A and B are shown apart, each in its own frame.
Chain A
Amino acid sequence: MSAPIDSPTRVTMPPALTPERPVAWPKRTVRTLGNGLQVVLAESRNFPKISAQLFFRSGNSLVALTKPGLADMTAGVVRAGTASRTSRQIEEDLRRMGAGLGSHSGADISAISAAGLAEFSGGILELIADLARNASFPEDEFERERRQRFEEVRVERTTPGFLANERLRAELFGGHPYSVVAPLPEQVAAYERADLQEFYRQHYVPSGSLLIVVGDFAAEDMLERIEKIFGDWKAPEAAVPEWPAPPHIHGRRVHLVHLPGAVQTQVLLGNLGINRRDAGWFELVLANAIYGGAFHSRLVLNIREQKGYTYSPRSSLHSLRQYGYFSVHAAVRNEVAAATLTEMFYELDRMRSLPVTSEELESAQSYLTGVFSLGVATQDGVLGQLSTIYLDRLAADYLETYRERVRRLTAENVMEAARAHFDSANAQIVLVGDRHVIARQAVLFGEVTEYNAPG
Chain B
Amino acid sequence: MSSSPKKLHIPVEHTTLSNGLRVVASPDRSAPVVTVGVYYQIGFRLEPRGRSGFAHLFEHMMFQGSENAGKMEHIRLINSSGGVLNGTTNYDITNYFESVPSNALERVLWLEADRMRALKVDDENLRNQRDVVKEEVRVNVMNQPYGGFPWLDLPPIAFRNWPNAHNFYGDFHDLDAATLADVQAFFHAYYAPNNAVLLMIGDFEPAEAFALAKKHFETIPPQPLPPRADVSEPPQTEERRGHVEEKFGPLPAMAIGYTIPPRESPDWFAAAVLDPVLHGGRAGRLHRKLVLEDQIAVDLDGGADIFETNGPTQMVTRIFHKPEFTADQTIAVFDSVIREVQEREIPAEELDAVKVKLRSDFYSTLEGGMGAHMPRFGLMHYLACFTLFDGDPGRVNGILDGFTGVTASQVQAVARKMLVPKNRAIVLRQPSNLGGAQ
Contact = CB atoms under 8 A, between A and B. Distances in A.
Given A5-B211, A5-B214, A5-B215, A158 B145 contact: yes
B79 interface: yes
A109 B107 CA distance: 42
Contact of B281 (A95, A152, A158, A263): A95
A97 interface: yes
A17 interface: yes
A84 to B, nearest CB: 16
Contact of A381 (B68, B104, B356, B375): B375
A19 B374 CA distance: 21
A450 B51 CA distance: 41
Given A88-B288, A374-B83, A148 B298 contact: yes
A209 to B, nearest CB: 24
Contact of A92 (B30, B216, B353): B353
A453 B413 CA distance: 50
Given A366-B82, A373-B101, A152 B32 contact: no
A122 interface: yes
Nearest to A26: B31
Contacts of A121: 3
A228 to B, nearest CB: 11
Interface in B415-438: 436-438
B136 interface: yes
B281 to A, nearest CB: 7
A280 interface: no
Nearest to A262: B143
B265 interface: no
Interface in A183-241: 216
A8 B219 contact: yes
Given A18-B106, A454-B436, A371 B298 contact: no
Contacts, number: 284
Contacts of A259: 248
Interface residues of A, number: 100
A155 B82 contact: no
A246 to B, nearest CB: 30
B250 A374 contact: no
Contacts of B340: none
Interface in B273-308: 280-283, 288, 291-292, 295, 298-299
A152 B103 contact: no
Contact of B99 (A266, A362, A374): A374
A9 to B, nearest CB: 8
A48 interface: yes
Contacts of B325: none
A87 interface: yes
Interface stretch (A268-276, A300-308, A343-351): A300-308
Contacts of B320: 151, 155
B82 A154 contact: no
B356 A94 contact: no
Contact of A97 (B211, B215, B356): B356
Contacts of A264: 135, 138-139, 142-143
A259 B144 CA distance: 11
Given A46-B367, A263-B138, A98 B102 contact: no
B54 to A, nearest CB: 17
A296 B80 contact: yes
A158 B250 contact: yes
A1 interface: yes
Given A308-B132, A311-B136, A331-B143, A367 B298 contact: no
A378 B283 contact: no
B138 A294 contact: no
A96 B131 CA distance: 48
A370 B100 contact: yes
Contacts of A34: none
A98 B359 contact: yes
Interface string B1-13: 1111110100000
Interface stretch (A112-120, A169-177, A318-326): A112-120
A95 B135 contact: no
Contacts of A378: 367-368, 372, 375-376
Contacts of B361: 98
Nearest to B354: A95
Contact of B128 (A15, A22, A305): A305
B83 A98 contact: no
Q: Which of A21, A23, A307 has the most CB of B within 10 A?
A: A21
Contacts of B192: none
Nearest to B69: A14
Nearest to B321: A151
Nearest to A116: B360
B181 interface: no
Interface in A368-407: 369-371, 373-381, 384
B160 interface: no
Nearest to B207: A3
Interface string A278-310: 000000000000000011100001001111111
A147 interface: yes
Contacts of B77: 14
Interface in A24-63: 24, 46-49
A366 B81 contact: yes
B134 interface: yes
A296 B103 contact: no
Interface in A243-263: 259-263
A106 interface: no
Given A15-B110, A305-B128, A333-B138, A370 B356 contact: no
Contact of A95 (B143, B283, B295): B283
Nearest to B216: A11
Given A264-B138, A305-B128, A381 B373 contact: yes
A294 B79 contact: yes
A100 interface: yes
B372 A384 contact: yes
A363 interface: yes
Nearest to B293: A88
Nearest to B209: A3
B1 to A, nearest CB: 5
B36 to A, nearest CB: 13
A196 to B, nearest CB: 18
Contacts of B6: 48, 118-119, 216
B75 interface: yes
Contacts of A5: 211, 214-215
B238 to A, nearest CB: 33
A159 B144 contact: yes
Nearest to A148: B298
A294 B352 CA distance: 44
A91 interface: yes
Contacts of B375: 374, 377-378, 381
Given A20-B32, A122-B1, A261-B248, 6 more contacts: A3-B211, A11-B216, A155-B145, A363-B76, A366-B79, A374-B83
Interface of A: 1-6, 8, 10-24, 46-49, 87-88, 91-92, 94-100, 115-123, 144, 147-148, 151-152, 154-155, 157-160, 216, 259-264, 266, 294-296, 301, 304-312, 331-333, 362-363, 366-367, 369-371, 373-381, 384, 453-454
23 contacts: A15-B107, A20-B103, A23-B31, A47-B363, A49-B364, A95-B354, A96-B353, A98-B360, A117-B360, A148-B291, A158-B437, A264-B138, A264-B139, A295-B75, A296-B75, A366-B80, A366-B82, A367-B79, A367-B83, A370-B82, A373-B32, A374-B33, A453-B437
